Structure 1
Amino acid sequence: MTELALITGASSGIGRAFAERLAADGYDLIVVARRRERLDALAAQLPTNVEVATADLATDEGIDAAAGLCAARPLTMLVNNAGVAHYMPLAQLPAAKARELVSVKVLAPTLLTRAALPGMLERGHGTVLNVAGMIAFGGPAAAMPGSGRAVYTNTLAGAVAMTQTLNTELAGTGVGAHVVCPGIVATEFHEVQGMDLSALPRMAPADVVTAALAGIRLGEVVSAPGVEDYGLLERVFAADIAAFGGQGPALASRYKTA
């Protein structure tokens, strides 16, 4: 059976790297992004069958169009990669940009996954692969000068939690969920915001893809391409479970005396 993957945000960066790698591995593709000319150029150079679909995942119409493809096609992999950052302190973030960020990074992956899962479950085979970032774990970190990313961090942390919970829901079905969390990647992602990060060490998009696919084979629900000691993440997850299990119905004593 031919493997079929749908990739959002496929016109550049990590999404393009996913398309190139999966096509090299024999996948047929559905590539989704806003820029048709880039998708057409990408499709022309890939060795497998590639369907091009333009959709703006910041809009209800774009999400519905992409979700329709997820529901109608026999996907074996869904790569929710499309992204937008809008780094800005929350008090200064225009409502339209906040809405765009949540639509692209939360609503679109949720509805595309919802559309793809019934077919995957019926066939007993498939993977939902979400692209987040290590900022998902950076909530307690001190603010960086000139940056404001409360909403962006929220979307990435939500992607990690949703993926972990979804993978548990899917246990024993032959369908899995996975999220990859890179650090700074050498793409145009920051450049479109006028941020020059060229002086900083950055990971190649192809390495992010390699980590994500290897992480799936290793059984990792959350992969971290730049973290050498995976035990760091395992301890984070163990602490999460311990805190969740450590709750009770009585008010904690520290709140009685504060």
Structure 2
Amino acid sequence: MSKLALVTGATSGIGKAFAERFAADGYDLIIVGRRQDRLAAFAADHPEVTVRTVAADLSGDDGIDTVARHCADEPLDILVNNAGVAHYMPLADLPADKARELVGVKVLAPTQLMRAAVGGMQHRGRGTVINVAGMIAFSGPADKSRMPRRAVYTGALAYLVAMTQTLAAEVEDSGVRVHVVCPGVVATEFHSVQGMDLSSVPRMSAADVVTGTLRGLELGESVIAPGVEDHRLLGNVFAAGLAAFAGQSTGLATRYRSN
């Protein structure tokens, strides 16, 4: 029996690279994207596997619900939450509709798709969830001289990191694995859609992101950072966070008390 993977944002960039790799590995596919023409072209190019296409906009309830039904009803072996939008701008400059779209695609959609898929995976005793975030998730403490402000985008990706780690603990020992991949700058259409010319900037290929992710799964890394050579750096970040969490008490800290 063939294995089955569902990939969102599968018509370009990292999502397409995941779909290509899974097809090469013999997976049947459910590919999700906004552009039916690109979905159909991918299916036509991969007759060696069964490819079902779902044209859906994951920024709204209708699109999310449509894909969630597939996640709940199909025996998924892999769910890849990759869909994204490139709304890079300070919060005060971010139009309300774009803020809603960004949170819908990167927060609400992955949450609802995971909620729909994980129960079935647990029942079957197997399954893998891969969330695509980015190293920007760790950039919150940087001052404005370090990088452009993009509060909602950064917060959405940070949500995916924390959500992944917590869900991985929830499903521990069930046969279900949950991972988040955090690439840096990747050579895709993502930035050009935003009007950013990064042609002179070194960028990782989408194929390398996928290669790093699949190797990270083999290594058992919950948070996979394909461009970070020393993985202990991430361990230090998470250890510091847990130390702060454990360091709280019910008493008011001394620095907050009046002199």
| Shorter-chain TM-score tier | over 0.9
Aligned to 1:102: 103
User: Per-residue deviation at 1:186?
Assistant: 0.1
Q: Whole-Å Cα distance in 2 between the matches of residues 118 and 69 of structure 1?
A: 13
Gaps of 5+ in 1: none
User: Per-residue deviation at 1:146?
Assistant: 8.3
TM-score, normalised on structure 1? 0.98
Aligned to 2:40: 40
Aligned to 1:179: 180
User: Per-residue deviation at 1:85?
Assistant: 2.1
Distance 1:139 1:146, change over 3 A: closer
Aligned to 1:162: 163
Q: Whole-Å Cα distance in 2 between the matches of residues 143 and 4 of structure 1?
A: 43
Pairing of 1:140-219 with structure 2 (within 5 A): 140-143=141-144, 147-219=148-220
In structure 2, give the amino acid aligned to 1:80: N
Distance 1:144 1:197, change over 3 A: farther
The question of whether the paired residues in 1 share the 8 Å contact of 2:127 and 2:176 is answered with: yes
Q: Whole-Å Cα distance in 1 between the matches of residues 235 and 81 of structure 2?
A: 24
Aligned to 1:233: 234
In structure 1, give the amino acid aligned to 2:6: L
SS of the residue 1:41 aligns to: helix
> Which digits, 9 at most, give the CA deviation of each residue in 1:233-253, with x for residues without a partner?
011111111111111111111
Aligned to 1:24: 24
> Which digits, 9 at most, give the CA deviation of each residue in 1:74-127, with x for residues without a partner?
001100000012111111111100000000000000001111111111100001
Q: Whole-Å Cα distance in 2 between the matches of residues 250 and 15 of structure 1?
A: 47
In structure 2, give the amino acid aligned to 1:195: M
SS of the residue 2:32 aligns to: strand
Aligned to 1:6: 6
Gaps of 5+ in 2: none
Q: Whole-Å Cα distance in 1 between the matches of residues 245 and 146 of structure 2?
A: 33
Q: Whole-Å Cα distance in 1 between the matches of residues 223 and 126 of structure 2?
A: 19
User: Per-residue deviation at 1:18?
Assistant: 0.2
SS of the residue 2:190 aligns to: coil
Q: Whole-Å Cα distance in 1 between the matches of residues 14 and 145 of structure 2?
A: 24
User: Per-residue deviation at 1:147?
Assistant: 3.1
SS of the residue 1:191 aligns to: helix
CA RMSD, 1 decimal: 1.2
Aligned to 2:124: 123
Q: Whole-Å Cα distance in 2 between the matches of residues 125 and 146 of structure 1?
A: 40
User: Per-residue deviation at 1:148?
Assistant: 3.0
Q: Whole-Å Cα distance in 1 between the matches of residues 102 and 75 of structure 2?
A: 28
> Which digits, 9 at most, give the CA deviation of each residue in 1:206-248, with x for residues without a partner?
0101111111110000000000000100111111111111111
TM-score, normalised on structure 2? 0.97
SS of the residue 2:185 aligns to: coil
In structure 1, give the amino acid aligned to 2:52: E
In structure 2, give the amino acid aligned to 1:228: E
User: Per-residue deviation at 1:31?
Assistant: 0.2
> Which digits, 9 at most, give the CA deviation of each residue in 1:122-153, with x for residues without a partner?
10000110000000000011225883310000
Aligned to 1:64: 65
Q: Whole-Å Cα distance in 1 between the matches of residues 6 and 54 of structure 2?
A: 10
Q: Whole-Å Cα distance in 1 between the matches of residues 245 and 199 of structure 2?
A: 40
Distance 1:28 1:166, change over 3 A: same
In structure 2, give the amino acid aligned to 1:167: A
Q: Whole-Å Cα distance in 2 between the matches of residues 2 and 19 of structure 1?
A: 15
Distance 1:226 1:254, change over 3 A: same
> Which digits, 9 at most, give the CA deviation of each residue in 1:186-208, with x for residues without a partner?
00001011010111110000010
> Which digits, 9 at most, give the CA deviation of each residue in 1:26-71, with x for residues without a partner?
1110000000111111111123111011000011100000001111
- Percent identity between the two aligned chains: 65
Q: Whole-Å Cα distance in 1 between the matches of residues 166 and 180 of structure 2?
A: 11
